Structure 1
């Protein structure tokens, strides 16, 4: 995509970013660019600094000097899980994009929405390889700001989905989100329901997607149906987990990137307790997209995808937004 470099940095507002991005187009962009990008981007492990016992600051840099991706960028993010009580997003931040050829600052954009889109679209892309292609029911755990993005991404990736069940500890939040999505007019032939009893519905999910801050296992592996795909998004620290050891033991486990092996509480706990070893991890998202590893092999197996985020997909999402903005 040819771009026109502006004479001064541009600021891309959240409204503009949301007008540029759709979950379908970003999933397609990741699918076409991830294999090459991982070979040319330098992406050190993100830096994580606690601001308080419950809040943190994260820095996620990435850069490439290749003419095909001549950018350097860094995402600055704050994570304040208590913000739901303040009616504020739990994750907020800014992405700054530079030219890696000249060092020029090219753009700054809201990384709150960028993160929501890229996180959801990574899960959506993984579900194209790991979920059954006849999946009909999506169970969404959590009703926060990421939940509607994950729902849209999975629906974009798997058009066979016809029912979405939303669970939240607070039933009213689940019901409110279900009503808002049903009334949006975006989804034809898809029904939405809110639920407050997880054990009653977890076995219904062909895809079970989790976006919570839980430190106690929510999904019990024994209740997952044969052929289910479990999408774990919420945890990024050792003390966090969204499923129990049995879910990990039963599944063929893939990760978005190697950082999940040292950051995800579900995996670290399973390693420490001897439930699985690192050899149990089947591969990464890039392995799936590039064809190096086979995703779902049978209609009966359980698959698990654990994501913790990476600067690679931040860069690719920012690239897509910036190049679209400067060429339209």
Structure 2
């Protein structure tokens, strides 16, 4: 089997590549071309953590896999990733593990790419101002994806800790300098989202992180962070105002994310508010943005097909370029 580190993966795969792979994966999923059971979530309440097991199978690629990903928010205080993960890629022709990948980076890459793909499909072409709410382990790739799909002049960034936010902005400005975009730390989410064309929320908050009444007509919103029924980043106002609401997997979102579970239970919204899965926009079976004034929302909880398609393409690139380390138990 091949072992691929984050550095190995970065050598062979860009965010542009990841956005393209994600669009393919979303299309495959929505066309029924994959087997993706709902993930198993095992809680570790003593440490405020969860470990998720995400299996899947893509017959067209002869590829299976399972990602083991944990969410332990306290890790950041110890200098550890708050979302550590390992991806196990399996050859679908013989059932053998063919590759182990750094699942932490894979999660960051494909999660950013999912929001990037949605923004590419739904945001206005003339989008110039972005807003990023959240500065944790997923934030940098969310920012990179936003910059990859639109030529933004400025991105306003806000987090819970102002000092950490400023540090994150400095790091991001250095790592993403090639885009030439002004990255600016702001004090409040109100300042971040006002007049923003693309808004990405990537937090573990149990309360809405911005006021939907401040979102301008024509904006696109990515809801990334809420993956449990008690988590809610998006408020009822923006859900009611949205012209179109898309999902990576409608089944998974309605089973797992408080962003939709909570307002549905309250009767704030109904299923009539939903547009469907964004993979059907990729295949052109559903319209995306139809007018400049539409407010669009993409809600993602992450599905295994995103990991498998992205990991399979990284694996193939690594084989072609002789990247990675071979390992065998025998």
TM-score, structure 2 as length reference:
0.92
Q: Are 2:51 and 1:57 aligned?
A: yes
Distance 1:210 1:33 in 2: 22
Equivalent residue, structure 2, for 1:213:
204
Equivalent residue, structure 1, for 2:228:
237
Distance 2:55 2:23 in 1: 21
DSSP-derived class of the 1:237 partner: coil
Equivalent residue, structure 2, for 1:196:
187
Residue-by-residue CA offset, 1:195-238 (whole Å, 9 max, x unaligned)? 12222332131111011110111111111111111111001001
C-alpha contact (below 8 Å) 1:132/1:206 kept by paired residues: yes
Equivalent residue, structure 1, for 2:282:
289
C-alpha contact (below 8 Å) 1:18/1:113 kept by paired residues: no
DSSP-derived class of the 1:241 partner: coil
DSSP-derived class of the 2:306 partner: helix
Equivalent residue, structure 1, for 2:74:
82
1:120/1:15 Cα in 2 relative to 1: closer, same or farther (>3 Å)? same
Structure 1 vs Structure 2 CA RMSD: 1.5
C-alpha contact (below 8 Å) 2:87/2:103 kept by paired residues: yes
Match of 1:94 among 74, 78, 86: 86
Deviates more, 1:311-320 or 1:51-60: 51-60
DSSP-derived class of the 2:3 partner: strand
Equivalent residue, structure 2, for 1:116:
108
Deviates more, 1:144-153 or 1:37-46: 37-46
Query: 5 Å matches for 1:108-257?
Result: 108-159=100-151, 161-184=152-175, 186-251=177-242, 252-257=244-249
1:316/1:278 Cα in 2 relative to 1: closer, same or farther (>3 Å)? same
Distance apart, 1:193 and its partner CA: 0.6
Distance 2:319 2:262 in 1: 45
Residue-by-residue CA offset, 1:152-207 (whole Å, 9 max, x unaligned)? 10111112x11011101111122112222223363343111101222233213111
Residue-by-residue CA offset, 1:258-284 (whole Å, 9 max, x unaligned)? 211121111111111111112211011
Distance 1:189 1:16 in 2: 26
C-alpha contact (below 8 Å) 1:209/1:231 kept by paired residues: yes
Gaps of 5+ in 1: 1-8
Which is bigger in relative contact order (C-alpha 8 A, separation at least 6)?
Answer: 2
DSSP-derived class of the 1:145 partner: coil
Gaps of 5+ in 2: 322-330
Deviates more, 1:177-186 or 1:138-147: 177-186
Distance apart, 1:32 and its partner CA: 4.0
Distance apart, 1:24 and its partner CA: 0.6
Distance 1:34 1:200 in 2: 33
TM-score, structure 1 as length reference:
0.93
Equivalent residue, structure 1, for 2:61:
69
Aligned length: 317
Distance 1:309 1:151 in 2: 17
C-alpha contact (below 8 Å) 1:139/1:204 kept by paired residues: no
